[in-house]
Structure 1
């Protein structure tokens, strides 16, 4: 197989980019996930040939055969990451090497070829560079990046595909939660599980999110912002939200988060928060935490705060928890003091407003 770590990207600028006026108008209120930039990255994979045809090109629709393997057997993975404007005007990515490695781990679990880390990083860096004018000038604005890969072989047999397509697209992003609330309300799913031991819970694949949507719809019907899932075996232990990891701040200085164990996505924001929390003098424990214990600790005052974290929402306080058994409130029901401190520490590092002692920020241009 050719040494495909050193592919040269062909750069083809869009022949119909958005006008400056149209782009500026759209960026005044970008929302999340509905506005897209002019270009995309693309790399093809063929068994026996490896990765080839790397390019940055005009963002356009993809022609797919009805028998494309992904449409039938869901061999698909993706990543979520952001590019930021730093305080000095430069552009940077936050821990992109971790996204690259997690993308490889997801590929292994889904029987897909692993994209070399160097190609992953080059694809997103070149995409950010060519679409640098798409950074939204709103408070907390960023350029959300969505690298993804799927089985493109035209074949209906049940086996790993022999052809794949990797792409990366970019979306100017504002606030993740539309409600704009300082603390969100969570629905506890009693009927549905997100993942089980031996499944794909630790991989960032579309199927995990598809499995969460009916429960998320239940949450919305009950005026909740997100759903939290319990373990599939006992339906007792808190695992994660539909798209975020969860933390519990205890009065004795402990920060508890559910252990990974193969059913929970190893969040990059999650790991960063644990590092920052230890620097704040907290004892961080990765251990099981039961839903009934969550309620009891909230009512007794042993639990001071709960928050969720992920790339899209960064860090968000959880104020109220609802379930079929009733509701309970955490603290005052508003944003937690430690939650806000950790969020600001992380955001300040991401945006170059605080010293990056861990080497997490990769400056681009």
Structure 2
């Protein structure tokens, strides 16, 4: 991929950037540039460019606005103590976007081009990556692909645009890691067999919002979804995967098929196995959750995602019932520490997961 670069003539001042990085929040400030490449059947991927960050101009008949043909990824760039900048398993994000694109009838962006696009933007905007001494701050990266053909017919778009934007992100937990409380939705499901559950597409997140709203109204942090066919088996949270630690040390995580195959999820499975835990990926029922906590068979529950990395799970509630929190264990804490230390360059990368950008 040949990338043309046009730098902004009005870069964010050093003083303003320092203010932003001191308290970046999440998804509210954006770097000075963005990456774009376009696709058509005749030309394939073409016109790759980095240019100043700014609004898009879309015709009202642009396909993505009507049929939601789009995919996206979420990943981070980390500043290491020596000043270098790294990403975490970017090829896995690229491969997942290929799978998502196949499900959404979008063209496949080669993984090497995906990684190059992300690297190129970070290289240009590297001063936006927070310093290594600032806790768990990072530069959040959002690659996405949208159908940009101006056409109202229901068919795969003949013009597609892939972009990457970046936003500095603060630590997910301020004041220490805290358990998240969960609401079990009994009315809404996230995905069914043959659906888009395993694709990272905005429609999955849109369908989760009303259930998340329900959780918030009941004083809970996150929503738990069950399978659409039987309404018995735990799938995932609104944006995180789940793990259940058992008394003998083995860990169960719901199997894939209708859930998103998270990069953090896969990494935790490998880390846990290296730590001596047997990990099972299988169907896990809500009854098994309730009974396991009541009997003491389940000794720890935690969740994971790109933003939070790893977080302990507290009480599970639903209309007319609940499952109490299990005593805080140290499996999640140890896994989280190992993963975060690896990402921020504080420990050896024995898995060869980190990818140097700058």
TM-score interval w.r.t. the shorter chain?
over 0.9
Alpha-carbon distance in 2 for matches of 1:297, 1:172: 40
Q: 2:241 matched to 1:279?
A: no
Q: 2:226 matched to 1:230?
A: yes
Q: What is the CA distance between 1:352 and its match in structure 2?
A: 1.5
Q: 2:114 matched to 1:107?
A: no
Counterpart in the other structure of 1:3: none
- Residue in structure 2 matching 1:351, options 326, 341, 344: 344
Alpha-carbon distance in 2 for matches of 1:180, 1:157: 50
Q: How does 1:144-155 map to 2 (within 5 A)?
A: 144-155=140-151
Q: Secondary structure at the match of 1:57?
A: strand
Alpha-carbon distance in 1 for matches of 2:63, 2:111: 25
Q: What is the CA distance between 1:98 and its match in structure 2?
A: 0.5
Alpha-carbon distance in 2 for matches of 1:293, 1:253: 16
Alpha-carbon distance in 2 for matches of 1:175, 1:323: 29
Alpha-carbon distance in 1 for matches of 2:17, 2:302: 34
Counterpart in the other structure of 1:220: 216
- Residue in structure 1 matching 2:37, options 32, 43, 58: 43
Give per-residue Cα distances to partners, 1:49-83, cap 9 Å, x unaligned: 10011011111000000000001111000000010
Q: 2:2 matched to 1:8?
A: yes
Q: Please list every run of 5 or more consecutive structure 1 residues that lacks an aligned counterpart in the other structure.
A: 1-6
Q: Secondary structure at the match of 1:228?
A: strand
Q: How does 1:241-280 map to 2 (within 5 A)?
A: 241-260=237-256, 262-280=257-275
Decide whether the 8 Å contact of 2:79 with 2:130 is kept in 1.
no
Q: What is the CA distance between 1:351 and its match in structure 2?
A: 1.3
- Residue in structure 1 matching 2:302, options 300, 303, 307: 307
Counterpart in the other structure of 2:66: 72
Alpha-carbon distance in 2 for matches of 1:178, 1:161: 43
Alpha-carbon distance in 1 for matches of 2:296, 2:5: 57
Q: Secondary structure at the match of 1:43?
A: strand
Q: 2:287 matched to 1:292?
A: yes
Counterpart in the other structure of 1:89: 83
Give per-residue Cα distances to partners, 1:118-142, cap 9 Å, x unaligned: 2111111011111111123431000
Q: Please list every run of 5 or more consecutive structure 2 residues that lacks an aligned counterpart in the other structure.
A: none
Alpha-carbon distance in 1 for matches of 2:174, 2:319: 25
TM-score under structure 1 length normalisation? 0.95
Q: What is the CA distance between 1:181 and its match in structure 2?
A: 5.4
Q: Secondary structure at the match of 1:48?
A: coil
- Residue in structure 1 matching 2:157, options 161, 174, 182: 161
Counterpart in the other structure of 1:127: 121
Alpha-carbon distance in 1 for matches of 2:243, 2:116: 33
Decide whether aligned partners of structure 1 residues 354 and 177 sit closer, same or farther in structure 2, where only a CA change above 3 A counts.
Answer: closer
Decide whether the 8 Å contact of 1:304 with 1:330 is kept in 2.
no
Counterpart in the other structure of 1:323: 318
Q: Secondary structure at the match of 1:249?
A: strand
Decide whether the 8 Å contact of 2:252 with 2:279 is kept in 1.
yes
Alpha-carbon distance in 2 for matches of 1:83, 1:93: 5
Give per-residue Cα distances to partners, 1:272-308, cap 9 Å, x unaligned: 1000111111110011111121111112211111111
The count of residues paired between Structure 1 and Structure 2 equals 356
Alpha-carbon distance in 1 for matches of 2:186, 2:176: 27
TM-score under structure 2 length normalisation? 0.97
Alpha-carbon distance in 1 for matches of 2:65, 2:174: 31
Aligned-pair RMSD on alpha carbons?
1.3
Q: What is the CA distance between 1:177 and its match in structure 2?
A: 5.6
Decide whether the 8 Å contact of 2:101 with 2:107 is kept in 1.
yes
Q: What is the CA distance between 1:179 and its match in structure 2?
A: 9.1
Decide whether aligned partners of structure 1 residues 179 and 168 sit closer, same or farther in structure 2, where only a CA change above 3 A counts.
Answer: same
